[in-house]
Each structure stands twice: as structure tokens, then as C-alpha cells.
Amino acid sequence: MKNIEIERRFLLNNENWRDFIQKSFLLKQGYISVEKECAIRVRIVDESAWLTLKGYISDTTRSEFEYEIPLADANNMMQHLCPFKIEKMRHLVEYQNFIFEIDEFFGENAPLVVAEIELPNEHADFPRPDWLGEEITSHGHFTNAYLSKHPYGSW
């Protein structure tokens, strides 16, 4: 279904995933809303920016509406509308024809590192490399929205 994101999240067992990195880039995210029912995010990557609305369906599934916006607008929103922010380095890691997005958090969320994989359905099978650790999909305090308001370093 269009505008649906099905995603599972994991902690990592080791650093072996680094051998599979295809690309890395810095993400700056600010949150207008961090509510579980509806998170509203501004994201900046290099010279591009997006406004994203996510609605809760289940721990693995969310509705997602994402729109590219002018960088100047995103910077303005970040400054004036986003009280909660995070920065992280995202690494795209290919493993057995699947792409894992591995996020290394900065600032008060360091040294947290989380792997995410988007799937076609909630029960889709996918490879479990040795570096994939405990599943945290159902632990809401590991969502980016929650981390922006309650940094990992303060737990």
C-alpha cells in the first residue's frame, strides 16, 4: 500500500557491518511533533530537505507522507518550529541483496547505533547477519522522535 512504511529496528552485536557500507551521509532532523500517533519531522541531507508526517498503525507499520521542501524553509522550520533535534550519520549497508540503514547518533544520543530494515510486509523474511543484535522494534523509546526529546545519554 502506498504511503505505508514497514520497518524493523535492531541494536548491533559488533562492528562487522562496516565491511558492507555502500554509502554514508549526515542527517539533521528536527521535530515539530513527537507524539506516537503523529510525528512531524523536518529532515536535511546536504542541500535537500523534506517534511515528513508519520502516523502510528503498529510497532512495525506507520503511515508516512513525505514532501521535498526548499532548504531555506527547512532551515527556518528547524530554527523556529522544531524544539527537538537529532543528528546522525546514516550508513547504507547491503547484505544478501537487502539494504540495512544503520544510524550512528551524535550528541546526547551517542554512542547509540541502530539498524533498520524496510520490508514489503510485517512478516517478510530477511537475512540475519552476525552483526544484527537485539530487536528493538517494539521499544518505542528507540524511535527517532522519542530520542529527540529523551536522548539516549539521559537514560
Residues assigned a catalytic role: 31
Neighbours of 131 (CB within 10 A): 20
Tracing cell 555502500 back to the chain, one arrives at 22
Closest C-alpha to 102, from 69, 72, 132, 80 = 132
| Whole-angstrom distance, CA of residue 57 vs CA of residue 69 | 26
In this structure, the dihedral spanned by the alpha carbons of residues 49, 84, 76 and 92, taken in order and rounded to 10 degrees, is -20
Distance of alpha carbon 28 from alpha carbon 56, whole angstroms: 22
